[in-house]
Chains A and B, each alone.
Chain A
Amino acid sequence: MDVQGFPSDLLTVDLGASSVTLRVDPATYSLDALYGAAYIFIDRCFVLLDKPDASYRVTLAWKKREPTTDELRALVGEFANELLSCAWRAKISEDSRALIESVTAQALGGAMGPPTLEELEKFDFSDETFEDPLGIAMSWEEKHRKKAQPDDANPVDGAKVTEATATREKP
């Protein structure tokens, strides 16, 4: 069944299962964007992600039985808009990272104020490793050696490390 406004090669509808399935191009929409959009819908739909070939496949199954065609159209339209929104937001965040971090740091710093003596007493000043998402504490050698040897143990986590490294490298 065709849904008005959507290319039939990208969208299929299964009225019996109350679901729609979209094909998503990974070249246009990153996995993060896909996750971001999918997550928004898990309260209303059963969301199933798959990767039958080079594309992603998203199935949104209405939790209620027998949605109308209009409801399904609205659902898939909203998903497509959210997917675009997530993809674009990721790009904006990458391009404007310095500005966003600066404003956020000032906002939170202004609200927090300086630490109290009690808080400083509890702070761990030891040499133990700590979370360093921006890689500030990494030496140049460590950083560049890590970039040349991505971690393939877990494809999902490996992808995250590569992405994080790539954003750290951006001037």
Chain B
Amino acid sequence: MNLVQLRNRSTTFAMPFRHRQVDGKVLITNTEGNFLLMSQEDFARFAEGAVPKESELYRRLAERNFVRAELDTRKMAERLRARKTFLHAGPNLHIAVVTLRCNETCVYCHASRADMSATHTDMSKETAARVVDLVFESTNPSVTIEFQGGEPLVNFDVVKHIIEVAREKNKTAGKGLEFTMVSNLSLMDEEKLAYLVDNRVQICTSIDGPEHLHDKQRKLPGLSAHQKATYWIRRINDAYAKMGLDPTLYHVEALLTTTRETLPRWKEVVDTYADLGCRALFLRPVDPFGFADRTAPRVEYPRLEYLEFYRSAVDYILELNKRGVEILERFAAIFLTKILGGQDPNFLDIRSPCGAGIGQIAYNYDGKVFTCDEGRMLHEMGDSTFLIGNVSPSAETTARSNYREMMTHETVRALAIASNLDAQPDCVNCTYQPYCGVCPVHNHKTQGSIFGRMRESSLCMVHKGIQDYLFSKIGGGDLETLEILRRWTTVRDRTHFLQTCAT
């Protein structure tokens, strides 16, 4: 639509709104995240304040708080509050990188993995204990300790130590404590499995797609990384089923890193996940951390090609859903929870402000503490901009950091401001602002400042592209698709993984 054609723009009819062309229609959103998709003609009437009061359009605009004369401030405040509940509590995600050692070599590794001989990159039990102390100082009533690496199973003794110390501390702390582990599963055995299942650790792994693609990108010397991972996915899911847990809720989650090789194989990737019984796949694009600088010529791609891949894959996922296969795409679910549900799922990378420091903390194997996992990855690449503390027992007492010092660290403050979309050029006017988020660490790495320039940001392009796709589906008129998308916003609590005080 050519906005110049709107000759009599009203300044009194509408509440502040943002607009965007999506699939031939005009999408409008407002501060509290209400939206409406309308025809070009209806948008013209809206912008000119020429919507008849008795019309269906007026009713729809008014109930969404787009009409100034009908503004419901109480409803507006409630909606805003629902979107920002995460502001009132501190970090809930605590990433413990228990080792950098890894037995697989992944072409896109962003964790800067180390060889299996690099035992100096194992977290000590003393450092682990200090990490747990800090976790429990968080003001958040719920905390999740996520074990990462390298490959966390390499340092399983420290994983167990953290679990045991944390559960002991929680007897008095009384937090909603959970454990998760991100593992390639190739070092899993029955003994480790029994421990993890008995101690209710949620397990997440990586599946890059069909075997030939997965094994090409994730080298496990002498073995098939894919066969190992899929064996243990089925074994773990089986263990949950034997415990009487609902398999639709309790199963291994898997992640995908989309490389150039993945792009034409969207159907194979989705089929692989569906065959494994996965209920979700996360079509993550490759990121600029870790080995990315070196391997970019091999794995990187223009983000327009990624979005083409994304649309094809999710179209196919929707088709599978219509055939009764329950599987969702995680990016879509995150955005849809905000768009359709009016809630924020607190995905730390897509919220305003982002979770750096205030929503998550990453603890490196040596006790150094970072605002987020991306900040930690950057440190391993030689850039320690996002280092906010050190809890290592070997650090000088004066240098050892406490929780409040870290929360008031100038870097944490800077990132809270830099990731606030109300302060960000482009985002401030973007139709997707109520639902979106930026990553200051990504901006710093790719554009030289934590603020970045969104028009040149590959991450912004991905977020906009995904939301364009979702809104085209929402406004597409297919009720079955809309119902599927609504189902993707349903969050069912997995209470089995909650460590109660008594256990």
Interface residues in chain A, defined as those with a beta carbon under 8 Å from any beta carbon in chain B: 36, 39-41, 43-44, 78, 81-82, 85, 88-89, 92-93, 96, 99-100, 103-104, 106-108, 110-113, 115-116, 119
B451 adjacent to A85 (CB under 8 Å): yes
Interface majority SS (helix, strand, loop, mixed), chain A: helix
Assuming the contacts A92-B428, A111-B407, asked whether A106 and B87 have C-beta atoms less than 8 A apart, the reply is yes
**A103 and B353: CB pair below 8 A?**
yes
The 0/1 profile, CB within 8 Å of A marked 1, for residues 404-436 of chain B is 100110001100110010111100100000000
Query: For chains A and B in complex, what number of residue pairs have CB atoms within 8 angstroms?
Result: 87
Which 6 residue pairs across A and B have the least CB separation, nearest first?
A111-B90, A113-B139, A111-B358, A40-B448, A110-B88, A88-B425
Is B456 a contact partner of A111 (Cβ separation < 8 A)? no
Interface: B453 (CB within 8 A): yes
Determine whether the beta carbon of B423 is less than 8 Å from that of A92: yes
Contact A110 B417 (CB under 8 A): no
One digit per residue, 1 when the CB lies within 8 angstroms of any chain A CB and 0 when it does not, for chain B 443-475 equals 000011101010110000000000000000000
Residues of A within 8 A of B87 (CB): 103, 106-107, 110
Q: Is B357 an interface residue (CB 8 A)?
A: yes
Given contacts A89-B425, A96-B423, contact A113 B90 (CB under 8 A): yes
Q: Which residues of B contact A (CB under 8 A)?
A: 84, 87-91, 138-139, 352-353, 357-358, 404, 407-408, 412-413, 416-417, 420, 422-425, 428, 447-449, 451, 453, 455-456
Residues in A whose Cβ lies below 8 Å from that of B138: 111
Closest to B451 in A: A89
Whether the Cβ atoms of A81 and B456 lie closer than 8 Å is: yes
For B353, the chain A residues whose CB sits under 8 A away are 103-104, 107
Q: How far is the CA of A116 from the CA of B402 in the complex (A)?
A: 12
The reply to whether B358 and A108 form a contact with Cβ atoms under 8 Å apart is yes
Looking at the assembled complex, report how far the CB atom of A58 sits from the nearest CB atom of chain B, in whole angstroms: 16
Beta-carbon nearest neighbor of B419 in chain A: A107
For B428, what are the chain A residues with a Cβ–Cβ distance below 8 Å? 92, 96
Q: Is the CB of B422 within 8 A of A96?
A: yes
Q: Chain A nearest CB: distance from B256 CB in Å?
A: 31
Q: What is the chain B residue whose CB lies nearest that of A84? A: B425
Task: Offer 16 A-B interface pairs, CB within 8 angstroms, sorted by A.
Answer: A41-B448, A78-B456, A96-B422, A96-B428, A100-B422, A103-B353, A103-B422, A104-B413, A107-B358, A108-B358, A108-B408, A110-B87, A111-B138, A111-B139, A111-B357, A113-B139
A62: min CB distance to chain B, Å: 15
Q: Which residue of A lies closest to B354 (CB)?
A: A107
Using Cβ atoms and an 8 Å threshold, which residues of chain B touch A103? 84, 87, 352-353, 416, 420, 422
Residue of B nearest to A43 (CB): B448
Do the beta carbons of B358 and A110 come within 8 Å of each other?
Answer: yes
Q: Given A108-B413, A110-B88, A115-B404, A99–B448 Cβ distance below 8 Å?
A: no
Interface contacts beyond A96-B428, A104-B413, A115-B404: sample of 6 additional A-B pairs, CB < 8 Å, sorted by A: A92-B428, A103-B422, A108-B412, A110-B87, A113-B90, A116-B404
Give the complex CA separation of A97 and B367 in angstroms: 36
**Complexed CA–CA distance, A106 and B417 (Å):** 12
Residue from the set A78, A99, A111 with the largest chain B CB neighbour count within 10 Å: A111
B91 touches A111 (CB 8 A): yes
Please pick, from B84, B424, B455, the residue contacting A89 in the complex, using a CB distance under 8 A: B424
Cβ-neighbour of B88 out of A81, A82, A85, A106 (below 8 A)? A106
Which chain A residues border B447 with CB–CB below 8 Å?
Answer: 40
Instruction: Tell me the smallest distance from the CB of B161 to a CB of chain A, in Å.
Output: 27
Least distance between A140 CB and chain B CB atoms (Å)? 29
A117 → chain B, closest Cβ, in Å?
Answer: 13
Question: In the docked arrangement, what's the CA distance between A100 and B353, Å?
Answer: 10
Residues of B within 8 A of A92 (CB): 422-425, 428
Asked whether A104 and B420 contact (CB < 8 A) given A110-B90, A111-B89, A111-B358, the answer is yes
Give which listed residue, B91, B357, B417, B453, contacts A100 with CB less than 8 A: B417
Residues of B within 8 A of A104 (CB): 353, 413, 416-417, 420
Cα distance, A122 to B63, chains bound together (Å): 52
Nearest CB in chain A: distance from B259 CB, A = 26
Which of A93, A104, A115 has most chain B Cβ within 10 Å?
Answer: A104
A153 → B minimal CB distance (Å) = 27
Shortest distance in angstroms between B282's beta carbon and chain A's nearest beta carbon?
Answer: 26
CA distance A78 to B139 in the complex (A): 41
Check B422–A110 contact: CB distance below 8 A.
Answer: no
